[in-house]
Chains A and B, each alone.
Chain A
């Protein structure tokens, strides 16, 4: 049989790649305020568990420098008492930590199967051509970084493009071209769902967990036709879930007087089936609160063929 070889072009496993740092890094480039914010992040986690703060800390240094630099790595290592090697190992594992300067707008085109086949592949190719960029490259004016993305969890709005992770739904080659042209002209088109656009650094700051009343965008749109299509159809057809009585113990709801118990519908006849569970998800029976199931086999069973799909749900 003929097997692929390492010389096959351009294919690499992102997560096992290495990071090249040109210099040791200087944590002191980050000022007093960043150190205070780092302390704030560390305080979110239980005492003695400061390492949990590493992911948000990396988002924080990225929000200042536009990518994770040697300085950023040195800063996180210093704040958490880790080695730079430990921090670098984490940086290389996650796709959102950028290793080269990123533009003001990170344009991500979903090229996973569903979006890709509904037009995402054409959109990615067209944007690459329009901007003269390959995957993970940035325009010379530092406005746009183009990347292909894996499933962005919006398949019902396919094909999906995100700008700084905000959803631009149901894109076409033409609409995506217009979108990046507007961005290059200094405009900020409104996302289909999500808050008004900010810069890549500003969105990284939000992902690091720093919000204010404006960034929380309480009135920004969250929904669209696919999100609501089922509930709307249910109303149209008079379909409802079986009803139950809501006990009105809630002071505020009672004052509002909104009796919105779900309306009634005929229950479906429940056929029976043998429950099966995934060995991958079976905890060990050790609970003293479960005397009927003392310590026993508890899940060291061999994975069965097809016992997958625990990841990413």
Chain B
């Protein structure tokens, strides 16, 4: 399997975040070409490319664009918005930040093309508040793009106007959920909205809104330049294109590996120099903590949106957190549960209360005092959270719990029988941050 750097191709070049360097490496040529097409041709192109949302859910981007209701001829146009989800925070996910820090213009070019396609004159970039360096790079890039004539009024003499507003968050993982993000952008608590209606008809300020992830939009200029068939040369037809796989944890060379969708962990591990401390692979996530974990059984599972689902998980954010035989799976899941408790927005009872119960039980299992019945309670809780909350957060919280019990029940039992974590050192650090 070859590496296929597309989104990452400028990483490591001379200050690629500066517009002159970006332009030298084909920057904004996609926008020029796009402005020579009709908006409907662009939507058709992105649909045809089968670009699927890189934020985790994998919804086809072209369909999202097409769902935006357009005024019929002679009717006055109503405001539409493009909102960029740059609130990266899914545990294990570290892909949009390096992209914005190193190559912010590719995202901006994609935003302007998306605005032109869906006939929006205003875009908002919702950047995670803690991501201060990404905020700097994107802020500077927006100013440079405006000065270069790629933003503002009458862009490149096309008659098309587009403005971008940068909106920085304030620390809440749930704002990566698109409707929570919209509420947060409206100055409210970031709690998800009931769907339907979907943002395509009732989004920001109740107007038709496209919400796309950073990587989705950054892919668009290349699709415009290369065409749908070029994009589909990489990866499976149902889930094509290059994918930024982020490898972290017990690997020799962690980092960003951009390879065709459908690559396997075996292939990616070979690229990353294997495991880091001479130990055997034990468990790993294919796309962040909200995707059910995989084990050594899944070394050859193709990692794309469809194959990962068929294997019982999801491609998610293609964030591969890799753990070895010396890592305690109960401790790992406990810490993820701490995260879900901390980040639950509190709107839906099953998620708010369920994550609280999870943590109490995991504390017992790790520190001692857990029972075999606790394992059944965890599964019972998971059943009562899954599918019973407004958004996917609650579902995500159940993923590490149920999948770890599925694959490592014996290790849970060892925690019960040994009256606490059998791994050296783990018990002393359980709950270290409290």
Contact = CB atoms under 8 A, between A and B. Distances in A.
Given A266-B2, A275-B306, A283-B67, A153 B129 contact: no
* Interface range, B side: 35 or more
A11 B356 contact: yes
Contacts of A289: 40, 43, 66, 68-70
B248 A158 contact: yes
Contacts of A234: 2-5, 258
B133 A193 contact: yes
A216 B198 CA distance: 36
B287 A309 contact: yes
Contacts of B300: none
B67 A309 contact: no
B66 A290 contact: yes
A189 interface: no
B256 to A, nearest CB: 5
B55 interface: yes
Contacts of B136: 195, 206, 211, 215-217, 220
B55 A310 contact: yes
Given A55-B187, A94-B170, A313-B317, A299 B196 contact: yes
Contacts of A24: none
Contacts, number: 538
Interface stretch (B232-240, B405-413, B414-422): B232-240
B393 interface: yes
A166 interface: yes
Contacts of B360: 3-4, 8, 11
Interface residues of A, number: 146
Given A194-B132, A310-B177, A14 B321 contact: no
Interface in B291-313: 291-292, 302, 304-307, 309-310, 312-313
Given A230-B8, A311-B174, A253 B69 contact: no
A267 B196 CA distance: 40
**SS of A interface (majority):** loop
A228 B11 contact: yes
Contact of A260 (B24, B129, B165, B371): B24
A22 interface: no
A309 to B, nearest CB: 4
B345 interface: yes
A55 B355 CA distance: 27
Contact of A227 (B171, B255, B289): B255
A95 B89 CA distance: 13
Interface string A230-258: 11111001011110101111101100101
A125 B429 contact: yes
B178 to A, nearest CB: 7
B133 A94 contact: no
Contacts of A273: 236-239, 304, 306-307, 310
B361 A247 contact: no
B306 A281 contact: no
Contacts of A272: 236-238
B93 A207 contact: no
Nearest to B272: A229
B23 A256 contact: yes
B391 A311 contact: yes
B287 A287 contact: no
User: Which of B190, B305, B432 lies at the interface centre, i.e. has the most chain A CB atoms within 10 A of its CB?
Assistant: B432
A131 to B, nearest CB: 14
A313 B85 contact: yes
B169 A94 contact: yes
B3 A277 contact: no
Contacts of A260: 24-26
B264 interface: no
A51 interface: yes
A220 to B, nearest CB: 7
A312 B387 contact: no
A155 B248 contact: yes
Contacts of A209: 139, 166, 168
Given A93-B172, A96-B171, A286-B200, A111 B335 contact: yes
A241 B234 contact: yes
5 contacts: A11-B360, A13-B342, A111-B338, A248-B29, A284-B67
